[in-house]
Structure 1
Amino acid sequence: MRHSETELMLKGYGLTTAEFYYRMPDYRNVLNSFIWQDYDLAPDHPRLFEFIEFWQDQIEGPLHSVRFTHRKMIAPGEWRNVVGELTLH
């Protein structure tokens, strides 16, 4: 079952963006790139590594390198409890 994006963010998932550089199967001197995004858990990144395993098993173009970044969309510092009230006039 796939959860909604909001549910994933509340469970601690963040958006992971990865750029894959791979060699063309017929032209080994040519590097191509592929962009992948999904919600994932840092620091282990299970979905990213699952996709890398899929790539290595199913895609003919061998990987040259992978660059990725991770950003939590909802962080604990964004929520705070306000206990006071200011009356103006």
Structure 2
Amino acid sequence: MHVSVRDLHRYRLTTAEILYRFPDFPGLLQSYLWQEMDVAPDFPRLTRFLDYWERNLEGRLHSVRIANAELVRPQEIAYAGHEVRVH
């Protein structure tokens, strides 16, 4: 997939905690962490993944919690004044 520099600024690191029902024990919830670069607020990659999950996997989705963060920008990087080494 080709992504232009202009489009890259729209992408953010997205983490989704997916709770789903364990297929053999529907009363038990399992957690799955998904992490990918995606575009907020529509999250097309996450949406495709969840659609795939519902079509092809047995564990029924319970809930999805999403967190995302922008890429680190140059002004957010600071140089350390000293260094500490351990071992």
**TM score, norm. by length of structure 2:** 0.74
Structure 1, unaligned stretches of length 5 or more? 80-89
Residue number in structure 1 paired with 2:10 = 12
Distance 1:35 1:41, change over 3 A: same
Aligned partners of 1:9 and 1:74 also within 8 Å: no
Displaced runs of 4 or more, over 4 A: none
Point out the structure with the larger strand share.
2
**TM score, norm. by length of structure 1:** 0.72
2:71 to 53, 62, 73: 73
Q: CA deviation at 1:26?
A: 1.1
Distance 1:70 1:9, change over 3 A: farther
Aligned residues: 75
Partner Cα distance (1:51, 1:57) in 2: 10
Percentage of identical aligned residues: 43
Aligned partners of 1:20 and 1:67 also within 8 Å: yes
Partner Cα distance (2:19, 2:35) in 1: 15
Structure 2, unaligned stretches of length 5 or more? 77-87
Structure with the greater alpha carbon radius of gyration: 1
2:25 to 14, 24, 27: 27
Q: CA deviation at 1:68?
A: 0.7
